[in-house]
Amino acid sequence: MEQTPAELWKQRSIAIAATVKEVASVDEALQYALELCQAAEPHEQLMGAEPERKGNILAAPGLPAEQAEILRKGCEEKGLVFVEGGLREYAGGMEVGVAWAACGLADTGTCVVESTNEDIRLATMLPETSVLLIRRSTILPGNENGAEVLQKFFGKAEPEFLAFISGPSRTADIERVLTLGVHGPLYLHAVLIND
């Protein structure tokens, strides 16, 4: 029996060191992000002066208002700090960043994230753990099937940025030893929402 695009995407994502969590709803996905942030080891201050911290930081710029409100309330209840803008101020250390993927590409296990907004770029690159929310219905079989989605982004008058994220950050530049988390997140949690 042939795999669905979502099944192949999940298999390929796991093969490149991503954690895939399947959930039934957006609310469940947001609760998962809150749990990851609460369980995270507090980040060591890596650079510059950081605003006073009262708990682990969950960065989630660019979410719809009702989703941002769920995270804001969840952070208050769990003693976490919710940030949705001005992420440069927190560049020295954020525990979890949350963003939506516009679509997924099954053949490579990739999430495509619209990241024209600098805060979204920072939320997917700077925290130790990146959480990408993706709907099952948006997973395409492969790169060649993404043309229509990509035309929506690149066909606009103003230039836009897309990030193609496949697993956590990795490099093998030094002595061919694979190292995770050097140029970005150490952990990638792709939350597959079964819509």
Tell me if residue 132 falls in helix, strand or coil: strand
Distance of CA 122 to the CA centre of its chain: 10
Percentage of residues of the chain with pLDDT beyond 70: 86
Average pLDDT over residues 40-69: 80
Lowest mean pLDDT among 30-39, 101-110, 125-134, 166-175: 166-175
Model confidence over 145-167: pLDDT tens digits?
777 777 777 777 777 788 898 88
Q: Give pTM, 2 decimals.
A: 0.88
Model confidence over 91-117: pLDDT tens digits?
878 899 999 999 999 999 999 999 999
Sign of the CA dihedral 161, 166, 167, 168?
negative
Supply the DSSP string of 12-40, one letter for each residue: HHHHTT-EEEEESSHHHHHHHHHHHHHHS
CA distance 133 to 90: 22
What is the phi-psi region of residue 145: left when phi exceeds 0, alpha when psi lies from -120 to 50, beta otherwise?
alpha
What is the dotted CATH code of the domain comprising 5-41+55-170+180-193? Answer: 3.40.50.10420
pLDDT at 58 over 80: yes
CA distance 6 to 135: 9
Number of DSSP helices (H) and strands (E) in the chain, helices first: 5, 12
Asked if 105 and 142 count as a contact pair (C-beta separation under 8 A), the reply is yes
Place of tokens 């695009």: 5
The domain limits of the chain are 5-41+55-170+180-193
